[in-house]
Amino acid sequence: MTNVLIVLTLPEAVRMQYFEHVKKHFPEVRLEMVDHHSKVDPYIAAAEVLITFGPHVANHVFEKAKNLKWVQALGTGVDGIADQPGLRKDVLLTNMHGFHGGPVSEAALLAMLSLARELPRSLRAQARRKWERFPVKLLEGKTVGIFGVGTIAAELAPKCKALGMKVVGVSSAAREVRGFDAMHGREDLEQAVKDWDYFVLLTPFTPGTKNIVDAKIFAAMKSSSFFINLARGGVVDEDALLDALKKKKIAGAALDVFAQEPLPEDSPFWDLENVIVTQHQGGFFDGYPGFALPVVEENMRKYLAGDLKGMINVVKR
């Protein structure tokens, strides 16, 4: 019998959608689920299949997974899994693709609008029961730069254009992409950001993008510009970002992802009035399991049938 372990640090109702679906469609497997990686010990040694998100596990899980043969990541990003030294090279890794464009592009629009209209300022006034009016900024006529041009950027760009924005992309290689007014290669990032009013970060975390948004990039940005991170915390030099925010080198930031998650309670990001902190919410929406579970189901059927070559979204590493 195949042992399957689900590790999900999510609300119980969401966790149970995954558990019940796998249990219903694959009664022949022995299925276990825990809500935190610290609770895997009774099951991990026997687990052949692990279903999880990268931020929900830690290296000790893979070090103890002596029988592990396949990891199904429930997100697109596989950092937290693929980069763990305890994960053996022979373990198959699959992920998700193609359905993050809608939710993450909406999260980017929310971030830009919230920063432009100083939404946190209004919420603070509401908490004090104070009626305070102030002029806000518009997105219309502004330039948004998107670093990382893939599925999400392809959905975000036309939405920004509909709001009257100029859209500039930065990718690993400069190329023409529909919906973008201009495109630059990654090597031109420092020069490109000088003209941006909003910098939306979407590029995946890889060894080549680690801390690629650093002090030089923030120094090149306009003091009136805003930074939005919906990618991964490791892509940004967080010390440099903190310095830029504290010294008002940039106007503010909306941060959904961090190098360490959950964000520690003593992190200075929590206290900065020019920062909006969200809890890795960008792609987390109520319909997510409905998109992810068909992928899990298809791959599980192929895996149990021994058709490893037929599995989808296999990550090369």
Tell me how many degrees the CA angle 33-39-45 measures, rounded to the nearest 5.
Answer: 80
284 phi, psi to nearest 5 deg:
-95, 100
Active-site residue, from 32, 100, 232, 238: 232
97 is catalytic: no
Active-site residue, from 56, 100, 184, 280: 280
For the purposes of burial, counting CB atoms within 10 Å of the CB of 76, is it exposed (0-12), middle (13-18) or buried (19 or more)? buried
261 is catalytic: yes
User: CA distances (Å), 36 to each of 8, 58, 64, 284, 289, in order?
Assistant: 6, 10, 15, 18, 19
Active-site residue, from 106, 261, 297, 298: 261
184 is catalytic: no
Annotate 60-127 with DSSP letters as a single string: HHHHH-TT--EEEESSS--TTTTT-TTS-TTSEEE---SS-HHHHHHHHHHHHHHHHTTHHHHHHHHH
Active-site positions read 232, 261, 280
